[in-house]
Structure 1
Amino acid sequence: MTVETSGTRRELNKQATRTAIVAATLELLRTGGREATTASAIAEAAGISRRTLFNYFPTVDAIMAEPMRRLLDKVVESLLDADPHLHPLTAAIQALRSAGVPELLAPVAQLNLHAKACGLPLADGQSNEWQHASDDVVHAIERLSPEVDPFEIRIFAHTVLGAGQAAFEEWTHRLAAQSPDHRSTPLELSSAHIRLLHSLITHALEQLSEGFPALLRTADPTHKDQ
Structure 2
Amino acid sequence: MKTQKLQHLAVVLLGNELCNNDWILKFLKKNGGLVELLFITYDSPWINDVDIFQWPLGVATYRNFPVVEASWSMLHDERPYLCNFLGTVYENSSRQALMNILKQDGNDKLCWISARQQWQPQETNVSLKNYQDALLHSDLTLCPVGVNTECYRIYEACSYGSIPVVEDVMTGGNCGNSSVHYNAPLQLLKSRGAPFIFIKNWKELPAILEKEKTIVLQEKIQRRKELLQWYQHFKTE
Q: Structure 1 length normalisation: TM-score?
A: 0.29
Q: Where is the helix percentage greater, Structure 1 or Structure 2? A: 1
> Normalising to structure 2: TM-score of the pair?
0.29
